[in-house]
Chain A
Amino acid sequence: MTDRPLLLGVRHHGPGSARSVHAALAARRPAVVLVEGPPEADDVVALAGDPAMSPPVALLAHAVNDTGRAGFWPLAAFSPEWVAIRWALDNGVPVRFIDLPAAHSLALRDTAESDPTEPGAAGPGTAEPRQPAPGTAEDAEDAEDAEDAETTTAADAAAEPSAVADARDDLRRDPLAALAAAAGHDDAERWWEDVVEHRSGGDDPLAPFAAVEEAMAEVRTALPTEETDRDLVREAHMRLRLREAVKEFGADAVAVVCGAWHVPALRERRTVAADRALLRGLPKVRTEITWVPWTHRRLGRAHGYGAGIESPGWYAHLFSAADRPVARWMTRVAGLLREEGFPISSAHVIEAVRLADTLAAMRGRPLAGLGETIDAVRAVMCDGAEVPLNLVIDRLVVGDVLGEVPDAAPAVPLQRDLTAQQRRLRLKPEAGGRHLDLDLRKDNDADRSRLFHRLRLLGIPWATPAAAGSTGTFREGWQVDWEPELAVRVAEAGIWGITVESAAVAKARADALAADSLAALTSLAEQCLLAGLGDALPTVMRALADRAALDTDVAALAAALPPLVRSARYGDVRSTGTEELTRVAHGLAERVCVGLPTACTGLDADGAAAMRRHVEATHAALALLDDAGLRDRWRGTLRRLARRDTVPAVLRGRAARFLLDEGVLPDDEADRLIGLELSPAVPPARAAGWIEGFLAGGGLLLVHDERLLALIDTWLGSVPADSFTDVLPLLRRSFGSFEPGVRRSVGELVRRSPGTTTGGSETAPTPGFGDRTDSGRADAALPVLRLLLGEAAAGGDPAASDPPPAPSAAPPADDPIGAPA
């Protein structure tokens, strides 16, 4: 077969395949190595030989003028492609990538997904750009046993089910699973490991690949021919590139490393014209390609652009262990557990190895695999407990390996932009947490803040919000800590755009379209304002308005309102246009006013407590909105709440208190309500709930309005003894939340007037006070009060029976806009 190119069908990321590839290349010594991957990478492949390059790394191809289109081709040290590339570079042999150019595959992806909505719509979460990528465990096969031939091999789809959301999978069944089933295994992955990964090659390094090819050919004929265009097109391109190489170097000097699935297709004889025809007219985008660092965790199945392997750490170990992989593995496990303080002796290691080997024998496997070793570690080293075992899985089986890329590698544009900004803002990406206090009135600090917010939006948590050194809307505290892994995140975020700002805008738009809850949208809007992303705001607001119109859950609306109102206010502070924001906030508030009374009926205690928080937040938010019409509507809503019997008592009490604080509840109406709610016929528990709601705004009211105090005092005195213990916790909660001073004053008032039922004015004076109001002295304070409260407030009732507005009416203390500029 020397007149035929050497086709090495592999399983992507299979350590067994990687070893076989190395052996085959060393034996055959080809003059050129072709690897499945985007040909654009030919330009940067030499960097793989750079000593500063250490896997796992990924090839990142992204469309230059189009955000959101990018593909990752992750490579680990144990990936056959990586092994082939390194072999070629070490031996001075040229490497070429032969897959469909990323220019086409990125362009195709978009059309195929028929998602023309927004350029940025295809987020990392939704699209697996690397559909053609090595990530998926394609393939297969093995070989040294010829009788396995029909059972061997595998397929492209092997790991894809988890990794790729691609309709293609549905069309084409999972051939690896079919083969494994034919061989009597229920787990395709394990079967693959047994027949391929765990065989350490026979005498002929090429034999396994011949068997793989045979088996793959068999599978491909058995499968429905109707493959998607993509595979055919890719294979046509591979064939063309292969033909070129053969012409240049001669057939026997060419080696190809590709997913085993493609091997039969490359062997096929097709005319150049037919292949060209397939490639004609493909859409195209301009792309750039570079190397980015990657992590083992990202190779795992559970994360983002996973390559579809659950145990990268285990694979890396299999690949790197010189011999006795199980014994070495157990030693590492023991080392880890010892570091964590578990008493593990060498005897444990010995027994664990024996158990793993015996288990493998009983299960009929050639070598203890991950499953056996984990079972053995659990039974021998962990005493059957899961906690230390999870540690082993997290730290060793998956592992924390982080790749590195030499500085010479072209930086991702986003990284370049970020570096430039870091330099301009004098922020060094350094490890070791540092606290930063920003003064937003300074341009430099404001820019820093915007950068941090944008990065957070892009999922790059370089800085996390922390308490600021002082309060005030112009202060912002950040905890800044650069970790090497963030470089990977920057690379990932690079698909969104070439500058931090444009990437953040694209990401925000995509997030807005994908958001599944109103609250998520409003906080997104808030983030956009904080990050200064005015361009993204219209999209976010449109999504928000659409959502709000459809959302029927008043609680969700109410939860969405406060951040929106905050944003509207914040916008003012930061001089961003917020008319749109305010308009949506109004719409939201109207809907809340309409829906709230119904939503508040028939709630149980937990529901009422949750709703109470919503009511309070809405009240505070509406105060900030400062719109007279809206305020009237809201008061109407509160009135209905306060009077409706089916509303839980705590909510009614809260609504009544808001009305009282707003000054819209006539005095006698307040008395009447309290008397009504505290009538003897009302069950004590319900009355106590009402009091809890009513007093939640602070107890100062009771100090100043002794009639109210007397009403409550009377009611309390009339609670029957056996009910008293029931209401005690509620009362304790109500009164316990008062400030100590207020609590003491209330206590003194009650003690001073034990028998009084109404009116406290004629009773003995509070210590330190006269026995009646001295209006002359009070008048003297009025001008100053007028000044403090503003001219308008001075027109209010001078009786001053009410204290300065109760604290509850003021914006919550944590509101960053609380202090007027």
Chain B
Amino acid sequence: MTAETTGQPVLRPHAEDAFAEELSALAAADDRPRPERWKLSPWAVATYLLGGTLADGTVITPKYVGPRRIVEVAVTTLATDRALLLLGVPGTAKTWVSEHLAAAVSGDSTLIVQGTAGTAEEAIRYGWNYAQLLAKGPSREAMVAGPVMRAMSEGMIARVEELTRIPADVQDSLITILSEKTLPIPELNDEVQAVRGFNLIATANDRDKGVNELSSALRRRFNTVVLPLPASSDAEVEIVSRRVDQLGRSLHLPAAPDAIDEIRRVVTVFRELRGGVTTDGRTRVKTPSGTLSTAEAISVVTNGLALAAHFGDGVLRPADVAAGIQGAVVRDPAADSLIWQEYLETVVRERDGWSDFYRAARDAASGRPHGDAA
């Protein structure tokens, strides 16, 4: 929907552009009833997220790897007029799911409000074009509609990221929108009523400290879906390699021949440190302060691929990921680097086939003296 189609390839295309083919194939194959203004039926939206093969042979890649139930409840919620709240620790693909849901349902994932501590009411409702306002006085022309208002008037899905970071009073301006489905404009003694098809997806993480808890009045307007961390190591490896592959393509990194072993290693390290125990269940390890989410694992591997492609021999080697892992693990320079050292010495050093990684991680740790970190 954005106008910048200058022909220049963008760094990261929107979901609806990146997967335009899959969406149109789904739309063609989809003969189930669609809610008003939905581009696809709920079933097709779920298929778009979970992946599958259509009758005509088109393969739909999975966008979300996880329990089917979660996606079904999320899509179904959007089909009712309840808003959807995606909850989870950072890096559990909340934003990713919300983008793809919006892309599949409305064909547009760009009606987005980024929640911050400074998000003002205008960002959610509407602002004014002051030149127009001065010239013409309060009028529809002088009004600048926010994303939510546009979604309401056009019957689309609006997205609010990090809802809990938004100050409580601003959050509550959503209540009228979600319950009355209308946005009053007192200045004009007017209102914008939501047309069918409008709904809202909010994401929030339940780990951050200092967030603004939702008021129960607002909370009641949402169906809550908690996105879990990947259940098994294999599932996580699958997620990481799939995303790394996609990212690599869009960043035009040369394809790495066989990175799966390194990916497995990164995922193992992350899972062990996150869970506080080694995969064989025999050794307890300390847990660092970072979240060590799947998303971070993905970025470590992508980073490593870039290193391997540009500075190495194109093969993802332990040295390429070691520094990245250290960066992800060591958030608090004092406590976390101790934890990381301890993990290296007690777990990594003795593990069969991990000696390359151990040396690389040691080099990375010592190659960055304290001065560098400061």
| Bound complex: CA A354 to CA B82 (Å) | 10
| Bound complex: CA A380 to CA B79 (Å) | 15
* CB-based contact A379/B79 at 8 Å: no
* CB-based contact A375/B73 at 8 Å: yes
Least CB distance, B212 to chain A, in whole angstroms = 16
User: Known contacts A362-B46, A375-B72; is A355 also within 8 Å of B220 by CB?
Assistant: no
Least CB distance, B110 to chain A, in whole angstroms = 26
Q: Mark contacts of B42-80 with chain A using CB atoms, 8 A cut-off: 1 yes-contact digit, 0 otherwise.
A: 110010000000000000000000000100110111011
Chain A contacts for B87, CB-based, 8 A: 383-384
| Bound complex: CA A355 to CA B222 (Å) | 12
* CB-based contact B226/A355 at 8 Å: no
* CB-based contact A355/B72 at 8 Å: no
Q: Mark contacts of A339-361 with chain B using CB atoms, 8 A cut-off: 1 yes-contact digit, 0 otherwise.
A: 00001010110010011001100
* CB-based contact B80/A345 at 8 Å: no
* CB-based contact A362/B76 at 8 Å: yes
* CB-based contact A362/B72 at 8 Å: yes
How many chain B residues touch A (CB < 8 A): the figure is: 20
Chain B contacts for A359, CB-based, 8 A: 72-73, 76
Chain A contacts for B331, CB-based, 8 A: none
| Bound complex: CA A343 to CA B73 (Å) | 22
| Bound complex: CA A362 to CA B225 (Å) | 17
Given contacts A345-B220, A364-B43, 4 further A-B contacts (CB under 8 A): A343-B216, A351-B223, A355-B76, A362-B72
Chain A contacts for B75, CB-based, 8 A: 362
Q: Is A363 an interface residue (CB 8 A)?
A: yes
Q: Is B224 an interface residue (CB 8 A)?
A: yes
Q: Is B219 an interface residue (CB 8 A)?
A: yes
| Bound complex: CA A33 to CA B114 (Å) | 69
Q: Which A702-737 residues have C-beta < 8 A from chain B?
A: none
Chain B contacts for A382, CB-based, 8 A: 224
Least CB distance, B53 to chain A, in whole angstroms = 15
* CB-based contact A355/B69 at 8 Å: no
Q: Nearest CB to that of A351 among chain B residues?
A: B82
* CB-based contact B220/A348 at 8 Å: yes
Q: Nearest CB to that of A380 among chain B residues?
A: B223
Q: Nearest CB to that of A376 among chain B residues?
A: B73
Q: Nearest CB to that of A364 among chain B residues?
A: B43
- Choice from A345, A354, A364, A375 contacting B69 with Cβ under 8 Å: A375
Chain B contacts for A358, CB-based, 8 A: 42, 76, 79-80
Chain A contacts for B220, CB-based, 8 A: 345, 347-348
Least CB distance, A380 to chain B, in whole angstroms = 5
Q: Nearest CB to that of A358 among chain B residues?
A: B76
Q: Nearest CB to that of B46 among chain A residues?
A: A362
Least CB distance, B264 to chain A, in whole angstroms = 29
A residues neighboring B (CB under 8 Å): 343, 345, 347-348, 351, 354-355, 358-359, 362-364, 371, 375-376, 378-380, 382-385
- Choice from A345, A347, A362, A383 contacting B224 with Cβ under 8 Å: A383
* CB-based contact A362/B226 at 8 Å: no
Least CB distance, B229 to chain A, in whole angstroms = 14
| Bound complex: CA A141 to CA B54 (Å) | 31
Chain B contacts for A371, CB-based, 8 A: 69
Chain B contacts for A376, CB-based, 8 A: 73
Least CB distance, B341 to chain A, in whole angstroms = 19
| Bound complex: CA A385 to CA B228 (Å) | 11
* CB-based contact B42/A379 at 8 Å: no
Q: Mark contacts of B248-276 with chain A using CB atoms, 8 A cut-off: 1 yes-contact digit, 0 otherwise.
A: 00000000000000000000000000000
Q: Mark contacts of B198-232 with chain A using CB atoms, 8 A cut-off: 1 yes-contact digit, 0 otherwise.
A: 00000000000000000010011001111000000
Q: Mark contacts of B77-97 with chain A using CB atoms, 8 A cut-off: 1 yes-contact digit, 0 otherwise.
A: 101101000010000000000
| Bound complex: CA A348 to CA B80 (Å) | 14
Q: Nearest CB to that of A359 among chain B residues?
A: B76
| Bound complex: CA A358 to CA B225 (Å) | 16
Chain A contacts for B224, CB-based, 8 A: 379-380, 382-384
Least CB distance, A185 to chain B, in whole angstroms = 14
Q: Nearest CB to that of A371 among chain B residues?
A: B69
Q: Nearest CB to that of A382 among chain B residues?
A: B224
| Bound complex: CA A499 to CA B79 (Å) | 63
Chain A contacts for B77, CB-based, 8 A: 355, 379
The number of A-B residue pairs with CB atoms under 8 Å apart is 54
Least CB distance, A392 to chain B, in whole angstroms = 15
| Bound complex: CA A821 to CA B12 (Å) | 87
Least CB distance, A390 to chain B, in whole angstroms = 14
* CB-based contact B216/A355 at 8 Å: no
User: Known contacts A375-B73, A379-B224; is A362 also within 8 Å of B79 by CB?
Assistant: yes
| Bound complex: CA A376 to CA B87 (Å) | 16
Q: Nearest CB to that of B84 among chain A residues?
A: A379
| Bound complex: CA A379 to CA B225 (Å) | 6
Least CB distance, A136 to chain B, in whole angstroms = 28
* CB-based contact A354/B73 at 8 Å: no
Most buried by B among A345, A358, A376, A379: A379
- Choice from B46, B73, B219 contacting A379 with Cβ under 8 Å: B73
Most buried by B among A362, A364, A385: A362
Q: Report, nearest first, the 8 A-B pairs whose CB atoms are least far apart.
A: A384-B226, A384-B224, A379-B223, A383-B224, A359-B76, A362-B42, A358-B76, A375-B73
* CB-based contact B216/A362 at 8 Å: no
* CB-based contact B219/A355 at 8 Å: no
* CB-based contact A354/B72 at 8 Å: no
| Bound complex: CA A345 to CA B217 (Å) | 11
Q: Nearest CB to that of A348 among chain B residues?
A: B220
* CB-based contact A355/B223 at 8 Å: yes
| Bound complex: CA A36 to CA B213 (Å) | 58
Least CB distance, A246 to chain B, in whole angstroms = 50
| Bound complex: CA A287 to CA B9 (Å) | 84
Chain B contacts for A384, CB-based, 8 A: 87, 224-226
Q: Nearest CB to that of A363 among chain B residues?
A: B72
| Bound complex: CA A347 to CA B220 (Å) | 8
Most buried by A among B43, B75, B219, B224: B224
Chain A contacts for B72, CB-based, 8 A: 359, 362-363, 375
Chain A contacts for B69, CB-based, 8 A: 371, 375
| Bound complex: CA A355 to CA B77 (Å) | 6
Least CB distance, B181 to chain A, in whole angstroms = 15
Least CB distance, B370 to chain A, in whole angstroms = 23
25 A–B contacts from the bound complex (CB under 8 Å): A345-B220, A348-B220, A351-B80, A351-B82, A354-B80, A354-B82, A355-B73, A355-B223, A358-B76, A359-B72, A362-B42, A362-B43, A362-B72, A362-B79, A363-B72, A364-B43, A375-B73, A376-B73, A379-B223, A379-B224, A380-B82, A380-B224, A382-B224, A384-B87, A384-B226
| Bound complex: CA A343 to CA B215 (Å) | 13
| Bound complex: CA A343 to CA B216 (Å) | 9
Q: Nearest CB to that of A352 among chain B residues?
A: B223
Most buried by B among A345, A380, A384: A384
| Bound complex: CA A382 to CA B223 (Å) | 9
* CB-based contact A355/B43 at 8 Å: no
Least CB distance, A379 to chain B, in whole angstroms = 4
| Bound complex: CA A354 to CA B43 (Å) | 17
| Bound complex: CA A359 to CA B87 (Å) | 20
Least CB distance, A369 to chain B, in whole angstroms = 13
Chain B contacts for A378, CB-based, 8 A: 73
| Bound complex: CA A548 to CA B131 (Å) | 94
Chain B contacts for A385, CB-based, 8 A: 226
Q: Nearest CB to that of A375 among chain B residues?
A: B73
Q: Nearest CB to that of A356 among chain B residues?
A: B76
Least CB distance, B196 to chain A, in whole angstroms = 15
Chain B contacts for A364, CB-based, 8 A: 43
* CB-based contact B46/A355 at 8 Å: no
Most buried by A among B42, B76, B224: B76
Chain B contacts for A354, CB-based, 8 A: 80, 82
Q: Nearest CB to that of A362 among chain B residues?
A: B42
Least CB distance, B202 to chain A, in whole angstroms = 13
Least CB distance, B21 to chain A, in whole angstroms = 24
Least CB distance, A417 to chain B, in whole angstroms = 48
Q: Nearest CB to that of A374 among chain B residues?
A: B69
Q: Nearest CB to that of B87 among chain A residues?
A: A384
User: Known contacts A347-B220, A375-B73, A384-B87; is A355 also within 8 Å of B42 by CB?
Assistant: no
